[in-house]
Structure 1
Amino acid sequence: MDPTHLFELVIGMFLAIIVLHYAAHRLGLPPSVALLAGGALLAFAPGLPTIEVDPELVLIIFLPPLLMDGAWFIALGRLRRHMIGIASLAVGAVVFTCVVVAVVTHLLFPSLPWAACAALGAIVSPPDAVSARAVLQQVKLPRRLQILLEGESLFNDASGLVLFRFTIAAAVTGAFSTVDAVGSFFVLAIGGALVGIAIGTVWVLLVRRLEDDYLIIAATALLSWTSYLLGEFFHVSGVIATVTTGLIAGWHQHTVFSAATRMRGTSFWTVLVFLMEAAVFILIGLSLRGVVERGGGIDVVVATMGLPILVILIALTLARFAWVFGSDYVIRLCNMLGIDRYTPLGARGSTVLGWAGVRGVVTLALALSVPEGFPGRDFILVTSFAVILGTVLIQGTTLGKVIAWAKLSEPASEKPRLTMSQTEAAMAQAQFVVVRSRAYDGDGNLVHPQLLERYQRRATSIVDYAERTEDYTPVLHAHFDLVLEAVATGRRELIRLHRAGEIDDETLHELERDLDLEELSAISAKA
């Protein structure tokens, strides 16, 4: 394809993202579903070329920043607290699902080698980080379920990639060693973690020495690809390296970033991640045409592969449910034996967790990277794509309804010890203490009376609000509504003065920034 046409296609894809996101919002659909369906329709549009996706390039471009984003903002305390449950899903559920899919595939196609069946299982077994994020952004879950799904999506790609590489090697060489596979997994994981720790430490030291906001944001934007590529360069897990780096950077960003850097960087990063997430689903949809053509056309695919694919999709879903419910039963059994460190999710919580296994870009990239001439390659490719479509279109659209049916509540053990109002009261009290200590000079004369009065009044009112939140909420909403109205009026007057030539551009931008900060502060306080 001509480079100019390729650039035009990319711009067209981003325009389609905006249109499809807007359509999803208007129709009440998850954006991932609209993007996937829109990309599939565009794939068959007259005049558009068949999109050939390079699997290695897709993984390198899209996976690192999306993994970094998940690790950066994840609740680290809850991640540590639920690490055993996350490991159970990220490793145990992936291996179990891989085995189930391999067995079912071999029963459907006895002539297909076991290694090829296992390769299909490895491809479709890990739920995808991108798809999980797209679904979780649209629903409200208890903190424990949220962290289990987020943590699983961060770490399970490493399990799937290791399984995939070993099954491909087994098909080519005819030999497979479970001991070697387990040993390789731990080497890759530990090595990836060490690379991530090194990159994260260097980033923290670097950011502390850089003084330019834009240099800091640029260095941070490149962090994910640096970690992933260095991990792969040293033949360890680039996924684990990226996640580890993201956890370190996310932990330290509160102390090494200035307020301006954090605001600018978060805005830039949010738009970047939005475009990359959306582009992933568009690319998956656009790849449909090539997959169908490879399978012999839509009629041939449905007639010859439809039923086996449906059976595998059902087996895949049931395998996840079996693992989740089995793990919950083990926790119940431990509780009966007096080991009560963990609390069972219960049937409703387990149902939600089992239904949340959406596949995406990793499955597509692994399927496309199956070597030419590999046994059953066309069936593996079509099945992988069908699994992505099925999980996104079915589970992605119905997860919200399943959560609403479950009526899950937050366990007392997962609730923070302090509410937001109590935390604000503690902050206000600490601020008042430091202002009071500096409000007098060495001779005991009050030199900052207005500051002292302001912070004392603020500390007193916030403590009072924390004790009677419901009484004050309507008054505060009205207060901040009026603040927002005043900001809007001030902005209109500022623009009028600029349009009339009464003030210059520098004054406009400076005062507009102050109004923006005041508006954001009022919106945050009202929320």
Structure 2
Amino acid sequence: MIVSITLLILAVGVFAIILARFIRIPYTLLLVVLGFFLSLFTVAFGIDTGVRASNFQDLMLFILLPVLIFEAAFALNSKLLFKYLPNVLTLATLGLIISTLVIAVFLYFGIAHSGFPFIAALLTGVVISATDPVAVVGQLKALKAPDDLNVLIEGESLFNDATAIVLFSIILSIALGQSEPDLTSAIITFSKVFFGGIIVGSVFGYIAALLVKIIDTSVPHMVVITLFLAYGTFYIAEHLFHVSGIVAVMFAALLFKKSAQDQLKDVHTGLHNIWESLGFIANIFVFVLLGLVVSLNMFTQMWLAIILAIVGAFIARVIAVYCSVWLNQVIVGQPINRKYPPIMIWGGLRGAVTIALVLSLPTELPYWWTIQSIGFGIVLFTLIVQATTTPLLVKKLNI
């Protein structure tokens, strides 16, 4: 069953590559559409793909996300990342909190019924505040947009995903009654999980960098070491130290790349190409599987909640981006090209992390279906509307 499903998903990926030559829409959107039609086909002919929300969530969190996070961190331009780090960190922390709160207030008063309490609105806010720029970044590179714009969008997404997952776990534990809604304890828990992940990831990244200094640095050797680094760091962080595996993987990749830059000099291009391919394959699985698990009932039953979430998310994104830009200019003295914020706002797509988080919602929460429908709805909206129109915006702004 696993082999047949893997072959089926890869076949969809190949078909999407062919279609992409004739249809000018983002590749990730093509994958979702083909995955959806595949699900209709399998249902019509009584074929059981074996894909369930539960095993999809495990596949996302433990198999696909470590690859996507490591590849994104390893591919980032380190010099530009550190240059724009204040803005990236502000967006990924303060911006995420602002976005979560604005969306939560908008949804809570918009839906306005007892079956959707404020804690449910907060959960929704955090899951749809996690950005995934995979569709937009490819377009920006094709349009030869400036590297600093790419780094701002990718860097924010990388840190944003990590903080969103940590914040989600804290809010979820409160919703399940496993912890009290106390601000002090929430800050302590967040600090422990987030900064613990930084420590674990940095240690393992540095150890891996020391290791490559004493062995033959060929591309195959580097692939094995970095794969073990990505999955090993995630597993140890999550299961042994109970800190954020995503944060750990991100910092393991960043520190490994920085500490072993001399040893990676001759193999960097080959290693980068292989990790780019792994990330591409992981995204095929993410978006085809999204198409497979989406149902039309979500949009017929929850259309009003989805529309409210889309409007609220856009308003929240505008506030978060411009607050971050203003704050960094005032405090740190870090100016940003005035043409960049509109691209950062409209290019803030939702993807893998949003999908993983909504699928991890326990079904004992009475409002889990509403949040899942909103999550899938906003992911599809950003892919269909925002991803397809971002190139037009880039050209309009003459970037």
TM-score scaled by structure 1? 0.69
Moved over 6 A (4+): none
Contact 2:38 2:292 in 1 (8 A): yes
Contact 2:200 2:248 in 1 (8 A): yes
CA-CA distance at 1:126 after TM superposition: 1.0
**1-structure distance, mates of 2:166, 2:386:** 26
Contact 2:194 2:244 in 1 (8 A): yes
Summarize the Cα distance change of 1:141–1:183 in structure 2 as closer, same or farther, 3 Å threshold.
farther
Contact 2:75 2:272 in 1 (8 A): no
Match of 2:334 in 1: 342
Matches within 5 A, 1:185-334: 185-211=190-216, 213=218, 214-233=220-239, 234-257=241-264, 259=266, 261-262=267-268, 264-288=270-294, 292=295, 298=296, 301-330=298-327, 334=330
**2-structure distance, mates of 1:324, 1:265:** 33
Match of 2:20 in 1: 24
CA-CA distance at 1:178 after TM superposition: 1.9
The residue identity in structure 1 corresponding to 2:61 is L
**2-structure distance, mates of 1:326, 1:198:** 34
The answer as to 2:31 corresponding to 1:40 is no
CA-CA distance at 1:61 after TM superposition: 0.8
**1-structure distance, mates of 2:327, 2:390:** 25
Match of 2:120 in 1: 116
The residue identity in structure 2 corresponding to 1:236 is V
Structure 1 counterpart SS, 2:11: helix
The answer as to 2:18 corresponding to 1:13 is no
Match of 1:91 in 2: 93
Contact 1:67 1:129 in 2 (8 A): no
User: Percent of aligned pairs with the same residue?
Assistant: 26
The residue identity in structure 1 corresponding to 2:48 is P
**1-structure distance, mates of 2:269, 2:328:** 43
Summarize the Cα distance change of 1:216–1:343 in structure 2 as closer, same or farther, 3 Å threshold.
closer
The answer as to 2:132 corresponding to 1:160 is no
Summarize the Cα distance change of 1:273–1:344 in structure 2 as closer, same or farther, 3 Å threshold.
closer
**1-structure distance, mates of 2:162, 2:326:** 27
**2-structure distance, mates of 1:212, 1:227:** 21
Cα RMSD (Å) = 2.2
Contact 1:331 1:344 in 2 (8 A): no
CA-CA distance at 1:215 after TM superposition: 3.3
The answer as to 2:391 corresponding to 1:392 is no
Larger Rg over CA atoms? 1
Structure 1 counterpart SS, 2:48: coil
| CA-to-aligned-CA distance 1:172-229 (integer Å, 9 cap, x gap) | 2283122222222222222111111211121112222223733333122222111111
Summarize the Cα distance change of 1:207–1:178 in structure 2 as closer, same or farther, 3 Å threshold.
same
Query: Which one scores higher on RCO, CA 8 angstroms, separation ≥ 6?
Result: 2
Match of 1:183 in 2: 188
Contact 1:131 1:359 in 2 (8 A): no
**1-structure distance, mates of 2:312, 2:144:** 28
Select the residue among 142, 154, 169 that pairs with 2:146: 142
**2-structure distance, mates of 1:364, 1:340:** 35
> In the comparison of the two structures, how many residue pairs are matched?
388
CA-CA distance at 1:383 after TM superposition: 0.9
Q: In structure 1, list runs of 5 or more residues that go unmatched.
A: 293-297, 409-527
Q: In structure 2, list runs of 5 or more residues that go unmatched.
A: none
Contact 2:130 2:350 in 1 (8 A): yes
CA-CA distance at 1:349 after TM superposition: 2.1
The residue identity in structure 1 corresponding to 2:23 is L
Match of 2:52 in 1: 52
Summarize the Cα distance change of 1:352–1:373 in structure 2 as closer, same or farther, 3 Å threshold.
same
Contact 1:104 1:315 in 2 (8 A): yes
CA-CA distance at 1:331 after TM superposition: 5.5
